Amino acid sequence: MGNHIYLYIFVMAGVTYLVRMLPLAIFQKEITSKFVQSFLFYMPYAVLGAMTFPAVFTATASIWSALAGLVVAILLSLREKDLLTVAMAACFTAFLVEWMMRFMQVL
């Protein structure tokens, strides 16, 4: 590999950066089209929904801890808790479930 590693990393980083940078540098002015505005209004929700499901089911070591964490996250989100609270509560729930599952295996 040797020196080639630098070149590979340069290509990776360069392409990734350009994809992110060009739209931000090009579209500096506010876009007035109602259609584009509406599209952009919905976009984050669509992206995050698609990234969360079904990936969340396999986010932890077992489907059960993932489901438990998911349920807690949904309940707390419905109560409009902040990001850190929801994220940590989901992790803690998943951790508890996995810990209990191991404990039960030992018995």
Partner 1 sequence: MTVEQKDHIYTFQEGLKDGIPIGLGYLSVSFTFGMMAVAMGLPVWAAVLISMTNLTSAGQFAGLPLIVTGAPYLEMALTQLIINLRYALMSFSLSQKLEQKINRWQRCMIAFGNTDEIFAVATGKNGYVSMAYMLGLITIPYIGWASGTFIGAVASELLPEIVRSALGIAIYGMFLAIIIPPAKHNRAVLKIILLSVAISCIFHYFPVLNQVSSGFVIIICTLLASLLGALCYPIEEAKENG
Give the separation between CA 83 and CA 60, rounded to whole angstroms: 19
A 10 A CB-CB count for 77 gives 13
Shortest distance (Å) from residue 104 CB to partner 1: 14
Shortest distance (Å) from residue 9 CB to partner 1: 6
Nearer to partner 1, 42 or 107 (CB): 42
Shortest distance (Å) from residue 107 CB to partner 1: 17
Spatial CB neighbours of 105, under 8 Å, sequence gap ≥ 6: none
Nearer to partner 1, 54 or 107 (CB): 54
Shortest distance (Å) from residue 80 CB to partner 1: 5
Helices (H), the chain: 4-26, 34-52, 63-78, 83-106
Nearer to partner 1, 84 or 107 (CB): 84
